[in-house]
Structure 1
Amino acid sequence: MSILGNKKLKQQEVASKMQAALAGGNEEEIKQAWVEFQESVVDDIKADFLEYQITQDKSILAQRGYRQLTTAEENYYKKFIEASKSANPQQAFAALPGTPDGIMPETIIEDVFRELVEEHPLLDKINFTYCKYLTKWILNDHTIDTAVWGELNSTITKEITSAFKIVDITQNKLSAFAAIPLDMLDLGPTFLDSYIRTVLKDALLCGLEKAIVAGTGKNQPVGLCKNVSHGVTVTGGVYPDKTKVALTSFMPKEYGKVLAKLSKTEKWTDDNSKVHGGRTRKFSSVLFICNQTDYLTKVMPASTVLTVNGTFAQNVFPFPTDVVISNELADNTAILCLPAEYFMAIGGAKEGIITYSDDYKFLEDLRYYKIKTYGAGKANDDTVALFLDITNLEEAYVYTKVKGTVESTVKGTVTTKAES
């Protein structure tokens, strides 16, 4: 394996440990995991810096993921380093947004989000939008038909207007802390950029995937497993879980019945007794989300068959289905959804993505910074996703019909059935 591959593998292992700590909720374990993760990133970058000092070969840096900085990015990091080395860093950081190069360039964040989407299948599947520094986003509400033949009058205009809603991206804040060793500031903008992007990317990932799958809606996005139907009771900002739908096999008849629950938009009646929704939606594939254990013990056996030539055929579904692993889901549960119908918007505020923080002071040779972004996410309606109970998901089997034989059922193999 290449040096770059080893480096990425090591960071993934430490990041996985950090995600596990966050899921456990133990504050000390979370703190320790964050420290280990950031130390691993710092060690890798310092090693690359020392090698670069000897070789002065920029092509090696490019191979290891270091970016060629733009003028704006270079100026920003120089200002960042200057403020970080200040005797009063908090005051220096407070003044940063007022300077021409004091606001983190959008290109840095855009690169972080591009890598996030490329490296993580769940983010690549959903309707994921980076809104830059915007604080509000206009979204089609998908509740009524807006195309109308005939004369345009006030009633139609009102309906067209009501078909759009404004999403306030600043309603939910995702924060993490980054510890930067003071001696690392001497490495320069290119190496500082790599550290900032790596920490920012993994901080965002830890919060994003959990929010998309199981976010409660309270100061965070609403997850796919939550009931978002019209009239649902939301207690203290927390949305309840959907009622689980049992899935026992991927055989066409049963799987088709479950998929059909996604085929119509949610039907509901407003205060004026007007019926909305209930329209048939068209889709050519679905997304199936489960944890790693359930994939190996339930989903893989249920979607793998032994063919007549003695080989196994994997991912055998009667309807195009993409399977994505997310360990945010509990055992025996899964989500079946239309990912393009879930909207997730992430943006940042003009006061800065990274600000100086006094919240943590573990060691004197480290300075801590708060990484802050805003976001909002929610399914377009309640029929976009199903929360599944896969406790009794059966092993795959295939039916064939051969004249003159007796019907039999053998899981995982070809099965014959008499035809009269």
Structure 2
Amino acid sequence: MDYTKLPNYEAAVGKYTDAVANGADEKEQQKLFAQTMEVMGTEIVEKLADQTNEKINSLMSSRSSEVMSAEETKFFNEITSGVGNVEKTLPLEIINQVFDELTYAHPLLDIINFQDMGLRTKAITSDGIYNGGTAVWGTFAGDIQGKLNQNFGEHDFSQNKLTAFTVIPKDALDYSYDWLKTFIILQLSESIAVALEAALVNGDGNNKPVGLIKDATVVNGTTTYGDKTVSADLSPLAALENSQDVSRQAAKILAPIMKKMSVSEKGVPLNIAGQAKILVNPQDYYNFTAMFLYLNANGVWVDILPFNIAVVQSMAVPVGKGIVFVANRYNAYRGKMTMQEFDQTLALEDLQLYTTKSFYWGKPKDNNASALVTIAAVPKG
């Protein structure tokens, strides 16, 4: 069973990501996210009900992890005991496996490298050693003349709380811990991935990460950020019939963007080779990539998208738009993750419901890390 391809769940995810991308009211976003998690839980249970115990165990064992640690065993003893609803911190092994799993269907989360802060919810960032300082040559007995003006920043993300729902059929509590662990990881990873990817693309910085589509310029202590202006329009490429003509024209259009991303806002040259990506909505992916394909004499399809830019799909990107960005120029941190028994039913029956809380902070290193482009004309109405 591919949990990311459940039909009702896919539709619910689409509604939620559209709401985030269109700047819907925060309460509306929360409502749609809760509905998305409820739909996923309902469909999972319906699918499991159609399978025998043998098939269920086979499904889970195929993705089982190594032998559980003592900390993990203790954790599962506590959540299956049915005693109290004390908040429990998930073992680091489970958190790491959640992140390994969520990158499977959400490639952006594999590209953005989150640093683990453990129990801390404060991130320390620096602007690099090149902020006006340099090493200086001199005589052996001479004065030390070089000075590295490296600026550090501290970012408290204790308010950047992401709450997700983990839905466990009560019957599942009778299965082995390996089974239960895999079930929790699969569902938890997907619920986090949906909200986190939306924030990495469209987050406005208000108790959430600052997205790649946002203008990251700080003005008078700004904490909420608006969208970038469009830097280039690639939609006219669709009118060209020859893929090599498309590639040449695209190179001319994208060259100024690549040049800007190759220099930090403080004027420091950067090597971005192999790091350039373009995020596009799945609805645009095939039409966009098809423009840069041609069949060579050996019968092999060749991709001639200029500057070795890799195309990445994300439902969080608005249809008709693309986000060109440098993968290693986004600061991302994750803090602790906790789980607590949830005392409401969300209209689901015979389920044990839990809430999980996790903390994240992220922001482009500067405003040169990404650029917004138009890749297709969007029909009106």
Aligned match for 2:113, one of 103, 120, 127: 127
Aligned to 2:42: 39
Aligned partner letter, 1:133: L
Aligned to 1:19: 13
The yes-or-no answer on 1:148 pairing with 2:148 is no
The yes-or-no answer on 1:388 pairing with 2:373 is yes
**CA shift in 2, pair 1:204/1:146, >3 Å:** farther
The yes-or-no answer on 1:290 pairing with 2:290 is no
- Cα deviation 1:143-174 (Å, max 9, x = unaligned): 71554336558x947x23x2x22232323111
- Give the alignment's TM-score, normalised by structure 2: 0.79
Distance of 2:328 and 2:376 partners within structure 1: 27
TM-superposed deviation, 1:8: 2.2
Report 1:167-316 matches (<5 A). Answer: 167-231=155-219, 234=222, 237-248=223-234, 249=237, 250-251=247-248, 252-266=251-265, 277-285=266-274, 286-297=276-287, 299-307=288-296, 309=297, 311=299, 313-316=301-304
**CA shift in 2, pair 1:360/1:218, >3 Å:** farther
The yes-or-no answer on 1:365 pairing with 2:350 is yes
Which piece of structure 1 moves more, 239-248 or 17-26? 17-26
TM-superposed deviation, 1:278: 1.5
Give the gaps of 5 or more residues in structure 2. Answer: 20-27, 138-142, 238-246
TM-superposed deviation, 1:366: 3.2
- Cα deviation 1:4-47 (Å, max 9, x = unaligned): xxx12675555533412422556776555433322343466678
User: Does the Cα contact within 8 Å between 1:113 and 1:130 map onto a contact in 2?
Assistant: no
Residue aligned with 2:44, SS: helix
Aligned partner letter, 1:382: N
- Give the alignment's TM-score, normalised by structure 1: 0.73
User: Does the Cα contact within 8 Å between 1:247 and 1:255 map onto a contact in 2?
Assistant: no
Distance of 2:319 and 2:5 partners within structure 1: 26
Aligned partner letter, 1:34: M
Aligned Cα root-mean-square deviation (Å): 3.2
Aligned match for 1:345, one of 318, 324, 333: 333
Residue aligned with 1:225, SS: coil
Larger Rg, first or second structure (1 or 2):
1
Aligned match for 1:325, one of 290, 313, 316: 313
**CA shift in 2, pair 1:127/1:10, >3 Å:** closer
Aligned partner letter, 1:340: N
Q: Percent identity?
A: 25
Distance of 1:312 and 1:16 partners within structure 2: 33
Report 1:74-113 matches (<5 A). Answer: 74-82=73-81, 85-86=82-83, 89-90=84-85, 93-94=86-87, 97=88, 103-113=89-99
Residue aligned with 2:306, SS: coil
TM-superposed deviation, 1:296: 2.4
- Cα deviation 1:42-81 (Å, max 9, x = unaligned): 466678882289xxxx988532446532232112101111
User: Does the Cα contact within 8 Å between 1:11 and 1:41 map onto a contact in 2?
Assistant: no
How many residues are paired up?
A: 349
User: Does the Cα contact within 8 Å between 1:131 and 1:347 map onto a contact in 2?
Assistant: yes
TM-superposed deviation, 1:332: 1.9
1 or 2 for the larger relative contact order (CA 8 Å, sep ≥6)?
A: 2
